[in-house]
A and B are shown apart, each in its own frame.
Chain A
């Protein structure tokens, strides 16, 4: 009877053995060798203007040049309010007096996200970016109240 029990225990042992699995969480670890970062430049129609005034409206036109990389995203905000977003290297949008918190000088922020060329996994799938910022002071003295 003990042998039969031994047999049953051996059989049960067989049936609880798991399939091949990897207990180690070891991964093939890589330190990516970054390539040259892209050469980025941006121009706007306000580059030659100092403190442009916003009367009825103001059009912002931007143009991005990027060598050795890719522009992912452009984002603009004024007084904490999102104004514009795009993935295009050139575009335009408008600012109106009612976008300001109060009359006076305010700042338009533009963020440009573009490829990092770090050769990391995130870079290869477009989830890692370098960011350039542009700040443009604009004058709402002629109006402006949300």
Chain B
């Protein structure tokens, strides 16, 4: 999957490289994102309830790394249009250990998003710039669940991988400061994930609600993002 995204990014870069007359550049965002992940938290609670002892959830889908890389063109003074790739990740962990053995479950979720970017500059000075932006993306979610136990020197485990595809949109505001050729900024945004049903990567079996087998569990990356950004103009 990453190969295709990298290829798409390079293609986009080549396209803007051969567009004369307008400013082109790229932005790199790095920060943290909160996620809703209600179904995953529910599943984590369910898995914990199957422990024969009282374990504990030590991490439940906390705000975690979020990154974006955007390539854009300045079409008008205030409008930038482009596209790019975004990445978020989070996870959950529950465990139990005593002198006789241990149990643990780790859930790791990643979101790869590819889509279009539109930015409108509300106010732009010599150095400072305040802009609103939005993104429309396709969100590919990967979820892995690993559970294992160790009991008196005997251990065993299970590893499952699931995938979901969903549409997503982001709206945000960004304030940036230009230092010679590079701009640095701070961005706050809200991502709305329209959620996708999780299916096993290999067999395509749906990840069903353990208490209601009519319902398939979904990933949900809806949440706030707070990121630092760096913008570099590209002129070849």
Q: How far is the CB of B52 from chain A (nearest CB, A)?
A: 4
Q: How far is the CB of B145 from chain A (nearest CB, A)?
A: 12
Best-buried of A27, A32, A118 by chain B (most CB within 10 Å): A27
CB interface residues, A 1-51, toward B, < 8 Å: 1, 3-4, 6-7, 10-12, 14-15, 17, 19-22, 26-32
- Residue in B2, B56, B64, B65 whose CB lies within 8 Å of A15: B2
**A121→B101 contact, CB < 8 A:** yes
- Contact between B104 and A27, CB atoms less than 8 A apart: yes
Cα distance, A85 to B65, chains bound together (Å): 57
Which of B85, B87, B93, B233 has its CB near the most chain A CB atoms (within 10 A)? B93
Interface of B is mostly: strand
A27 touches B97 (CB 8 A): yes
Question: Measured between C-beta atoms, what is the minimum distance from B2 to chain A in Å?
Answer: 5
A-B contact pairs, 15 of them (CB 8 A): A6-B232, A7-B234, A11-B10, A19-B144, A20-B64, A20-B90, A20-B91, A22-B91, A22-B106, A28-B56, A32-B99, A120-B98, A120-B100, A121-B102, A122-B100
Q: Find out whether the CB atom of B100 lies under 8 angstroms from the CB atom of A123.
A: yes
The answer to whether B108 touches A20 (Cβ under 8 A) is yes
Q: Considering the complex, which residues of chain B in the window 65-104 have a beta carbon less than 8 Å from any beta carbon of chain A?
A: 65, 67, 69, 71, 85, 87, 89-91, 93-104
- Docked pose: A30 CA to B52 CA in angstroms: 13
Inter-chain CA distance A121–B155, complex, in Å, is 13
The answer to whether the Cβ of B122 comes within 8 Å of any Cβ in the partner chain is: no
Which residues from B are CB-within-8-Å of A124? 52-53
Contacts of A28 in B (CB 8 A): 55-56, 58, 94-97
Which of B55, B85, B98, B110 is within 8 Å of A32, CB to CB?
Answer: B98
Q: How far is the CA of A10 from the CA of B85 in the complex (A)?
A: 12
Q: Is the CB of A30 within 8 A of B97?
A: yes
| Residue of B67, B87, B98, B151 ringed by the most chain A CB atoms within 10 A | B98
Interface check B54, CB cutoff 8 A: yes
Q: Tell whether, in the assembled complex, residue A19 and residue B96 are in contact, meaning their CB atoms are under 8 Å apart.
A: no
Is residue A70 within 8 Å, beta carbon to beta carbon, of the partner chain? no
In chain A, what residue has the closest Cβ to B232? A3
A128 at the interface (CB under 8 A from B): yes
Given A3-B236, A17-B65, A30-B96, 12 more pairs with CB closer than 8 A? A3-B233, A11-B6, A19-B91, A19-B144, A22-B93, A28-B97, A29-B97, A30-B98, A120-B99, A121-B98, A121-B103, A128-B152
Asked if A127 is an interface residue, CB under 8 A from chain B, the answer is yes
In the assembled complex, the Cα of A123 lies from the Cα of B9 at a distance in Å of: 55
B137 within 8 A of A: no
